[in-house]
Amino acid sequence: MQNKRYTQNKTKLRKGEYQRPNNTFEYRWTDNRGKRQYVYAKSLPELRKKEDEINRLVLEGIDYGKLDRTVNDYFELWKNLKTGIRETTFASYLRFYERYIQNDIGKMKLKNIYYSDVVLFFKKLAIEKGLSYSTIEKIEVTLSMILEIAVKDDVLRNNPCKGALRELKRECGMKVKDVRALTLEEQKVFEDYLAKPGRFHVYCPIFTVMLWTGMRVSEVLGLRWEDIDFDNNEIDVNHTLVFYDIGKGQGSAYKINPPKTRSSVRTVPMLPKVKEALLAEKEYQELAGIKCNSVIDGYTNFVFLNKNGHVHHHKKLNYKLYSICDEINRELQLNGGYGIKKFPRLHNHMLRHTFATRMREAGADMKATSDMMGHEEIMITLKTYTDASREFKQREIGLLQDYFNRAV
């Protein structure tokens, strides 16, 4: 190394600058951790451009030495740092990372990642892979948590994920699919169909409980007989049953989790309709000789079982709902009735949504409804879970006319 303070063409070198024997240039400095760092360039102007960037980063407290690390490097660090996350939630983050991030933006160095790179990554997921907005939203949560550690480590000034989803929505016109409630007519058609003898009648109790308690599917699937108080007509919600991917190449498993939030630990009043459905399920299992064969994390004696005595899978319940909807639509085409042209494609969560909407339409106290659904705030119930049907809006606006008539 030529340790001289002038280049070969007599340009004076600054402190830390060196011309190398091969006529390239090097800049050395000590980072804020006391570690020596080096950058190289083919020309002095190019080197000084890098110096200016380095000095700016140092002034801003950015750790330049770690900028050569990749997103994947910080993913490994994040895995070791992250504590207090449920096993199932952690497994979900891992799945999204390994499936979508690891072999793409995960290979990029932190110093090369900008806001525009994240937006382009999300657009690629939407356009090329055809992912829904809600799925990309989950990927964004995972990526953002990892990059946030780099921000706290003074490696990045700010998180390049910030605002990227908004840009995706603006450019691609993406939006979350609205979950709507069944109308009163649709609910009646659905319940009447389940009540009839036939191949789907066996699912009448579980869907009735979901529809008339507003419980989450994971809460209903995790119900045990000891959680039900038939004397006081109450259901004790104290755990959930989930099915999750353990990890890459490790398969999937059932898991007992605590309820979603502290507010989710609750007692749900049991309407006569719900009690009747639970007793019907009990009677059916006794007549069919079905006994619980599932033991999950020490929990057993589950209420809702398949014909083999095992707990239901939430996705299989969705498939049953799809089939029920198809059958209802066939009957509507043949017989008509209820003024419904096409019955909507149902899924588990729509039943919970329908419960909240019916409670609102019935004039129930929203604080009580929120508590029964296990929400921490009333606004979650109002904004996310309640629809206003045409009939309900007409009835509500009628209150104004009634008030005016009385007033004058």
> In the chain, where are the structural domains located?
17-61, 71-172, 184-396
Q: What is the mean pLDDT of the chain?
A: 85
Report whether pLDDT(190) > 80: yes
Please state the rounded mean pLDDT for residues 42-58. Answer: 80
Mean pLDDT highest for which of 69-83, 182-196, 381-395? 182-196
pLDDT digits (tens, 9 = 90+) for 282-331: 999 999 999 999 999 999 999 999 999 999 999 999 999 999 999 999 99
Report pLDDT for 375: 85
Question: What is the third-level CATH fold of 184-396?
Answer: hpI Integrase; Chain A (1.10.443)
pLDDT digits (tens, 9 = 90+) for 57-75: 665 555 666 667 899 998 9
pLDDT digits (tens, 9 = 90+) for 129-149: 888 888 899 999 999 999 998
Please state the rounded mean pLDDT for residues 362-371. Answer: 87
Q: Which residue would you say has higher pLDDT here, 132 or 37? A: 132
Q: Which residue would you say has higher pLDDT here, 389 or 206? A: 206
pLDDT digits (tens, 9 = 90+) for 72-106: 998 988 888 876 677 778 888 888 999 999 999 99
Band of pLDDT at residue 38, cut at 50, 70 and 90? confident
Report pLDDT for 57: 65
Residue 316 CB-half CA count within 13 A: 10
Band of pLDDT at residue 49, cut at 50, 70 and 90? confident
Report whether pLDDT(2) > 60: no
Report pLDDT for 53: 74
Q: Range with the lowest mean pLDDT among 169-173, 274-278, 357-361? A: 169-173
pLDDT digits (tens, 9 = 90+) for 191-227: 999 999 999 999 999 999 999 999 999 999 999 999 9
Please state the rounded mean pLDDT for residues 173-195. Answer: 84
Band of pLDDT at residue 385, cut at 50, 70 and 90? low
Report pLDDT for 160: 93
Domain spanning 71-172 has what CATH number? Answer: 1.10.150.130
Report pLDDT for 178: 64
Mean pLDDT highest for which of 25-39, 41-55, 155-169? 155-169
Report pLDDT for 260: 78
